Amino acid sequence: MKVLEVNHLRKVYPKTQTEALRDVNCTVDAHEFVAIMGESGSGKSTLLNSIATLETPTSGQIFIDGKNIEAMNPTEIATFRRERLGFVFQDFNLIETFNVRDNILLPLVLSDVDPKSFDQKIDRIAQKLNIEPLLEKSVNEISGGQKQRVAIARALINDPTLLLADEPTGQLDSKSANAVMDVFSRLNEEGHTLLMVTHSIKAASSAKRVLFIKDGIIYHEIYRGELSSADFAEKIANSLTLLNRTGGGEEND
């Protein structure tokens, strides 16, 4: 079953007339773990933010769970975003004046979920992400790696259909980055569908499929298949070298 379908997506930022996405086509099936790689400025965040309903496309369509997000009104989109999508950002986007527990609970509060279920939900998610001892701490008392695990907990609390992450390891040391990627792999094994933007080969090698974007077009993809993540990392690195040399826009193997 398709969780995401992107058709001929184009995005021009009106003020600067920057064509950030030229013609993006891709799909993500349920239970996939897909990484999108590309150099800085290639359109990764624009693509992810468009899927996240945070940017309006210039043309083209995005279907999530079969729903055309363009056809929804602003209220429907807000509800859809809160209840069906989870987001993880490079800079965590946690509320500094809230403690960890309240940060994770925020999407539930905004969604009118019965407060009686809060404790059970938060216990389950905190256990899953190994952050139980942090729940009463304030955000500025915890490390970057811990902040990202809290952000993942917040993204998952509504049990979203699709988890979106933009450079989730971009601000982390390698040990914390590995821990976050382990969490993503485990979530995927448990059935979550993940779409992650990264320019880290190491992070991308945790995914099962990697899409390569350049100048607003996805022009290549590779599957992990039976490869170990170390071997897949090598394959990703080779693809990047080859594609950068040819300048993209061509099919290469």
Ligand X SMILES: Nc1ncnc2c1ncn2[C@@H]1O[C@H](COP(=O)(O)OP(=O)(O)O)[C@@H](O)[C@H]1O
User: What residues line the site for Mg ion (CB under 5 A)?
Assistant: 44-45
The site partner of 86 among Mg ion, ligand X, none (C-beta below 5 to 8 Å per kind) is none
Lay out the sheet containing 209-214: strands in order across. Answer: 85-88, 162-166, 194-197, 33-37, 209-214, 217-223
Q: Which residues pair with 218 in a beta bridge?
A: 213
Site residues (CB under 6 A) for ligand X? 13, 16, 18, 20, 38, 40-46
Smallest distance, ligand X to C-beta of residue 78, A: 20
What does 205 bind: Mg ion, ligand X, none (CB cut-off 5 to 8 Å by kind)?
Answer: none
Task: Decide which of Mg ion, ligand X, none touches 20; Cβ closer than 5 to 8 Å per partner kind.
Answer: ligand X
50 binds, among ligand X, Mg ion, none (CB under 5 to 8 A by kind): none
Cβ nearer to Mg ion, comparing 145 with 168: 168
**In this structure, which amino acid lies at residue 217?**
I
**Residue 120 interface partner, choices Mg ion, ligand X, none, CB cut-off 5-8 Å depending on type:** none
Q: How far is the CB of 49 from ligand X (least distance, A)?
A: 8
Instruction: Report, in Å, the least distance between residue 200 CB and ligand X.
Output: 13
Minimum CB separation from ligand X for residue 252, in Å? 20
Closer residue to ligand X in complex, CB, 90/146: 90
Q: Which is nearer to Mg ion, 45 or 148 (CB)?
A: 45
SS (H, E, C) the chain: CEEEEEEEEEEEECCCCEEEEEEEEEEEECCCEEEEECCCCCCHHHHHHHHCCCCCCCEEEEEECCEEHHHCCHHHHHHHHHHHEEEECCCCCCCCCCEHHHHHHHHHHHCCCCHHHHHHHHHHHHHHCCCHHHCCCEHHHCCHHHHHHHHHHHHHCCCCCEEEEECCCCCCCHHHHHHHHHHHHHHHHCCCCEEEECCCHHHHCCCCEEEEEECCEEEEEEECCCCCHHHHHHHHHHHHHHHHHHCCCCCCC
Least distance (Å) between residue 17 CB and ligand X:
9
By beta-carbon distance, which residue lies closest to Mg ion?
45
Shortest Cβ 203–ligand X spacing (Å): 14
Selection from Mg ion, ligand X, none that 176 binds (CB < 5 to 8 A by kind) is none
Q: Rank residues 13 and 223 by Cβ distance to ligand X and give the closer one.
A: 13
